[in-house]
Amino acid sequence: MRLLLVEDNVPLADELTQSLQRQGYAIDWLADGRDAVYQGSSEPYDLIILDLGLPGLPGLEVLAQWRAGGLSTPVLILTARGSWAERIEGLKAGADDYLSKPFHPEELQLRIQSLLRRARGLANQPTLQAAGLHLDEGRQCVSRDGQDVQLTAAEFRLLRYFMLHPQQILSKSHLAEHLYNGETERDSNVLEVHVNHLRRKLGRSVIETHRGQGYRFGGVVE
């Protein structure tokens, strides 16, 4: 999952970036509203966290420009101005959720998880379920038939993306774009290694390879 964080307060952005990376998200960070307008619509983000008090261009204006440009990525607004009048304004401008500062980091993580599932049309449930697997995002482990299987951070990130997009053919470059932020070196071999690790742990048929096209998750589980 690749997230864009638009926040002008550097300490907060640092904290959020670190805590979100621990949750297995790839984070790009911007501080200026004008940059955000461009990068938000040109890069394939899965979710955008937007602060409203931005230098360059106000957050609501940024959001309005994205929505006017047809961007449908879920946007979570983060703001210190938490009055209901402003909240309604933000959601009318096209935001999908609203979190007022200060907030508990867990609250932000829960909102992000539920927004990502909602964007994929999945029901709001405590664990992510697909193809007989239950993914516990808090503990970063997957369970099958009541049996826990431990995952590394990279495997967790990959599996979560697959489980949010079951039955879809995902190319390696698509996966790379959504699993790594703009600064990471993208090496498709690394992806192959992680896919093989997942197959070893969960069974070969969990992820099918479609030659020349990519991978597909959600085959019959053995």
Partner 1 sequence: MKSIQARLSLGLVGVLVVVGLALAQISLWLFEVGLQRYLETGLRKESENLLVALVRGHSGLELDERRLSSAYQRPFSGYYFRIDFEGGSWRSRSLWDMDMPRPPTPGLHAGLELGPAGQQLLVLRADYRRLGQAISISVAQDYTPVRDGFRRMQQLGLGLGLVALLLILVLQRITVTRSLRPLERTREQIAQLQQGKRSQLDSEVPVELEPLVAQINHLLAHTEDSLRRSRNALGNLGHALKTPLAVLMSLASSERLNDLPEVRAQLQAQLEQIQQRLSRELNRARLAGDALPGAHFDCATELPGLLSTLGMIHGDHLLIRHQVPDGLSLPWDREDLLELLGNLLDNACKWADSEVCLSIEQEGGVYRLWVDDDGPGIPENARAGVLERGARLDEQVDGHGLGLGIVRDIAEAWGGQMRLLESPLGGLRVSIELPRRVAR
- Nearest distance in Å: CB 132, partner 1: 25
Instruction: State yes or no: residue 127 binds partner 1 (CB under 8 A).
Output: no
Count Cβ neighbours within 10 Å for each residue of 106-133 and write b for 16 or more, e otherwise: eebbebbbebbbeeeebeeeeebebbeb
- Nearest distance in Å: CB 81, partner 1: 6
Spell out, one character per residue from 39 to 68, where the chain touches partner 1: x when CB under 8 A holds, - when not.
--------------x---------------
User: Helix and strand tally (H, E) in the chain?
Assistant: 8, 12
Q: How many residues bind partner 1 (CB under 8 A)?
A: 31
Question: Whole-angstrom Cα distance, residue 52 to residue 204?
Answer: 46
How many beta carbons lie within 10 A of that of residue 153, not counting itself?
Answer: 12
Q: Which of 56, 94, 105, 219 binds partner 1 (CB under 8 A)?
A: 105
Nearer to partner 1, 9 or 143 (CB): 9
Nearer to partner 1, 104 or 211 (CB): 104
Q: Return the closest-CA partner of residue 45 out of 28, 64, 61.
A: 28
Instruction: State yes or no: residue 121 binds partner 1 (CB under 8 A).
Output: no
Instruction: State yes or no: residue 106 binds partner 1 (CB under 8 A).
Output: yes
Instruction: State yes or no: residue 125 binds partner 1 (CB under 8 A).
Output: no
- 63 phi and psi angles, rounded to 5 deg: -60, -45
- Nearest distance in Å: CB 53, partner 1: 6
Q: Are 24 and 159 in contact (CB under 8 A)?
A: no
Choose one: 34-42, 67-75, 102-110, 155-163; the region binding partner 1 (CB under 8 A).
102-110
C-alpha distances (whole Å) from 67 to each of 62, 82, 95, 144 are 9, 22, 9, 40
Question: Whole-angstrom Cα distance, residue 136 to residue 129?
Answer: 9
Instruction: State yes or no: residue 22 binds partner 1 (CB under 8 A).
Output: yes
Question: Whole-angstrom Cα distance, residue 1 to residue 157?
Answer: 7
**Residues of this chain that bind partner 1 (CB under 8 A):** 9, 11-12, 15-16, 18-19, 22, 53, 80-85, 87-88, 91-92, 96-98, 100-106, 114, 124
